[in-house]
Amino acid sequence: MISTNEWIFTIAFLAAVIIFDLSLAIIRRNKETSFIEALSWTVLYIGAAVSFGIFMPHWTSGEMQKEFFAGWLTEYALSVDNIFVFIILLTSLKVKKESQQLVLLLGILLTIAIRGLLIPIGATLVSRFSSVFYLFGAFLIYTAWKLVKEDGEEEFEEGKVVTALKKRGLSTFSIALIALGITNLVFSLDSIPAIFGLTHSAYIVTTANVFALMGLRQLYFLLEGLLTRLIYLSKGLSFILAFIGVKMILEALHGNGVEVPEISLELSLGVIIATLSITAIASLLATRNSGPKEKAQLP
């Protein structure tokens, strides 16, 4: 059980990092982010998440540590998929390179706010209605099926809403922020059920989500040139979501007294790590003949 003081310390630490990142984005709002800079910050944020997980047993338990790593890896993988959609959105809307810094960070802060509202709702549903696992599990399996059906090339078209917003005098910056907000809401509907399939702890759900969202602004600039390389990412994510969906349904059946196999957290963590590794390696091998300077063909 996480004490009030541990919650306060954790929230204060996470808030400090977010404020620091926001300040950095404002200071550098008129500058482009280089590849080396993006790589350095991405490694730093990943290191912070890994360090947090390593030291977790000092105030939690070994089981919660495993839940954190499984949840963080799943949420981070989903966030990488989100980043590719962000790249398409911002490029399609022709947002200036210099302005993308602030648009991305505000979009990420909006994501944190949206998930901050959805996490308590999810935790309440999980604690009071065990049957919600059937719903969450079925939704994740359906989402996985939709990802499999996709051809891997997501497209963004300037529809009537965007045209109407432009006619009303909204700037490209504002329209991009609205588009990212709507996209983040849709993605949150996938990510929240996914992590509740791995843990019932609101503390783990919160920290795993925030750490997965940290550094996404820098990760955006790091992955911008890899849009055409990670071709199997959606397929790997679909397998992970389907696996977690089945795990949730089995857990719900087991809770109702039905004799079914139980999927351990160790197995879940192993499946997630193996799937992401195989997906990344297979994608890079399949596109190894692509020129290093080849750019994604975006609308």
Tens digit of each residue's pLDDT (9 = 90 or more) over 176-225: 777 777 777 777 777 788 888 888 888 999 899 888 887 777 788 787 76
Tens digit of each residue's pLDDT (9 = 90 or more) over 77-114: 887 777 777 777 777 777 776 677 777 777 777 777 88
pLDDT of residue 8: 93
pLDDT of residue 55: 94
pLDDT of residue 225: 66
Q: Where along the chain do its domains lie? A: 4-286
Residue pointed to by tokens 């008129």: 30
Positions of the chain with pLDDT lower than 50, given as ranges: 152-158, 291-299
Neighbours of 73 (CB within 10 A): 21
Residue 129: HSE in the Cβ half-sphere, 13 Å Cα cutoff: 10
Where helices occur in 93-231 by DSSP H, the ranges are: 100-128, 132-149, 160-167, 172-196, 202-213, 216-223
Measured at the CA of 206, the angle between CA 202 and CA 208, to 5 degrees, comes to 115
Give the whole-angstrom CA distance, residue 78 versus residue 219. 13
143 alpha-carbon distance from chain centroid? 15
pLDDT of residue 151: 52
Q: Give the type of residue at 272.
A: I
